[in-house]
Structure 1
Amino acid sequence: MAEKPSFEIPPELRDMAEKNVEQARAAYGQFMDFMTQALGAWSQSPARSELGVFKTVQDRAIAFAKENAERSFALASDLAKAKDMPEVLSLQSRYAQTQMQTFGIQAQQLSWLMADALRDLQTPKG
């Protein structure tokens, strides 16, 4: 019986993909830095002072977004280095499983933080 031919991704294509991933990662990093600064300035405005109880939620959500983006860029980098389709499929499958677990944990943590913030907002001051 004849052996199935394997499809190997050319090294040149992998190198080009890796460079593109790094450029996208750098651009995303700059964007997130800008957004963090903008949100910080916005949350410091006097009109927003009553929403200060949500600062922890906002900070954690930003941290989750950065963590998730970094994991996505790591996957893209690994995919760019993959030599064949079975490796690509294995990387994607492992990433999907890990991220589903991570998203569940993150959603739970954000719901706890939101509950705390709402409780603080309803607690009479003074």
Structure 2
Amino acid sequence: MTNLNLEIPTEVREFAEKTVDQARKAFDSYVAAAQKATAQSEAAASTLASSAKELNAKAITFAETNVKAAFDLADKLVKAKDPKEFLSIQSEYLKSQVASVQEQAKALGEAVKKAVTPTETK
């Protein structure tokens, strides 16, 4: 057997080195972009989770307030001395609840808007 001494031409070697270098740079850019996208999505998810928690807490607080108001109404109605007082208590409750529900809807709307409005990330 003969020992063949095959040598890779310099141009081919340089081309291969450039190709590997370009592939490495492209991969590094891809990884950096993926890491940035992951960080942004994690930040958005964290913000959304926090906003959802805040929204749920507001909704529960409003529900508690409204149920308490309904029990207070029931207590007052049971103690009413005549139909006129009964109707007066109901009327007062309705006015109060309409105002309360408007305020609650506004607060919930603002909380939802805050939750879905993207924040700037640095």
**Partner residue of 2:42?**
none
Structure 2 residue corresponding to 1:88, chosen from 72, 76, 86: 86
Deviation, structure 1 residue 124: 6.2
Code of the aligned partner of 2:119 = T
In the alignment, which of 87, 102, 109 is matched to residue 111 of structure 1?
A: 109
User: In 2, Cα distance between the equivalents of 1:56 and 1:77?
Assistant: 32
Matches within 5 A, 1:45-64: 51-64=49-62
Aligned mate of 2:119, from 109, 118, 123: 123
State the superposition RMSD in angstroms: 1.9
Percent of aligned pairs sharing the same letter: 35
Aligned residues, how many?
A: 77
Residue segments in structure 1 that go unaligned for 5+ positions in a row: 1-47
Runs (5+) with no aligned partner, structure 2: 1-44
CA distance in 2, matches of 1:53, 1:125: 16
Letter in 2 for 1:101: A
> Counterpart of 1:66?
64
Asked if the contact 2:51/2:111 (under 8 Å) is kept, the reply is no
Question: Could you tell me how far apart the structure 1 residues matched to 2:81 and 2:121 are?
Answer: 61
Q: How many angstroms apart in 2 are the aligned matches of 1:100 and 1:124?
A: 37
Q: Which runs of 4+ in 1 moved over 6 A?
A: none
Match of 1:83, SS?
A: coil
Q: For the residues of structure 1 that align with 2:95 and 2:51, how far apart are their CA atoms?
A: 33
- Aligned partners of 1:100, 1:53: CA distance in 2, in Å? 26
